[in-house]
Amino acid sequence: MKIIYTVSSIVLALIILYSLLMHNISSHILKQNTVYPVETAAQTAPSEERICPKNYYTILTIDGGGTRGLIPLTYLKYLEQYNPNGTANIFNLMGGISTGAIIVAALSKVQPDMPDTYHFTAKQISDLYKKESPDFFSQSIIYRIISLNGLIMPLFNSYNKNNFFKINFKNTTLKNLTNHVALFAYDIKHKNILIFCNWIKCDNSLNQYSIADIVSGATSVMGVYAPVMFSTHAHQIKYNIADLGLIINNPAYMTVRLAAKICPDVQHYVVLSLGTGNYPEMSSNQESYHWGLTQWMPNLIAATTETNSEAASEYLSFFMRHELSTIPDNQLPKLIYIRLNPVLDWNDSKSFATSPENLDYFEKKSYEDINKNKQLLQCIATIRIKDELTSECKEQLLNYIHLQRSPYFAISLPGIFKN
């Protein structure tokens, strides 16, 4: 009896100690992930009227995908060779989800003392991804034990990720970005999609929060990182921000809708939608047939994001094909939707992969796809400069969109450009 009593006392003491430790860690995570408005000097957001082109409104959208953000960055490095003023000068509007939100925000950040010079190039962001991503997706042994490897707490501690954003974005807010941007996130509290945007007629009530806090929340995949609490100075929680990627991972449709509201009278919307890799074969049927919860959970994020990314892409492609069936072959449709998303091998395409071999693989597959689309990308890089197309550029666009034709496409889709 004495031995049983002693063992029971030890077990009880360990349970109490573990509970206290969990409480302290949870309180620390809550404090670490609660953010407040940033006080900045008043600055007018870019106006819609002065930036609307007459003919071609160019749009960049970037999917979520963790370290696979290196894939769209590789395309953008190539684009910047043909427009050295930066990606933000190539596109009228840029939208991103998760890792795409990081890239869009970074590409739109200007030098504090040089408002006409962008702070980051695509190459610089790519180099930061390679250098810093191992710290984003790492666990200390103690944290792994306490969290039961992500079973009862977020899989990763947010500190390194959030600190990286604070160092690189500082107190930059949406108002400080000169280009039009839309950063998409999910509000757990109200179960809504939040759009962080920086033009006059969008919801500017969120402009008071820093870019660092916005992208921290927009990259907090549920279960992987703790969400970010957006609080008022009176300590009232307004939003509980998480990554939108599990619900919608391709921001193209939402961004095009925003563009149609900003500049409704443009002749053509040219959309470059950059994915973070397409892996059509996740596993063999024989393998997945025997999977249970523990086998499916690590693959759930990839399966979900891949499916909803392609669904959004198909919708816009269908809309473009529908218009193609109503216009002459030598005429461009109102929506020119270009989707570039290289095929990856499932075993080498995990969102949290940080080994040099994996990161090199992402770049390699991107360059292979770039080599197939060089002239098309060169065309896109120059459209905004003169708001017109060369004959060669128009031919490239026509060749691409006519490859998307579907002989059996006959359904009518709701108008994407109707408010």
Which residues are paired to 274 by β-bridges? 62, 340
Q: Is residue 186 part of a domain?
A: yes
Distances (CA, A) of 37 to 85, 207, 234, 307: 31, 9, 11, 35
Output the six-digit token pair for 200. 């006059």
Catalytic positions? 98, 243
Q: Is residue 10 part of a domain?
A: no
Q: Is residue 419 part of a domain?
A: no
Q: Is residue 417 part of a domain?
A: no
Tell me the C-alpha distance between 18 and 73, whole Å: 43
CATH number at residue 335: 3.40.1090.10
Q: Are 316 and 273 in contact (CB under 8 A)?
A: yes
| Number of domains into which the chain is organized | 1
In order along its 419 residues, the chain shows pLDDT tens digits of 666 656 565 655 556 655 555 545 555 555 566 766 775 545 555 655 557 999 999 999 999 999 999 999 999 999 999 998 899 999 999 999 999 999 999 999 988 777 667 889 999 999 999 999 888 887 778 777 777 777 778 888 888 999 999 999 988 999 888 889 999 999 999 999 999 999 877 876 777 889 999 999 999 998 889 999 998 888 888 899 999 998 899 999 999 999 999 999 999 999 999 999 987 665 555 566 667 655 666 666 666 666 667 777 777 887 787 787 788 888 999 999 999 999 988 766 667 788 899 999 999 999 999 999 999 999 999 999 989 999 999 999 999 988 876 544 434 444 566 55
For residue 238, the enclosing domain spans 33-403
Q: Is residue 182 part of a domain?
A: yes
Instruction: Indicate the length of the chain as a whole number.
Output: 419
Q: Is residue 7 part of a domain?
A: no
Q: Is residue 67 part of a domain?
A: yes
Q: Is residue 214 part of a domain?
A: yes
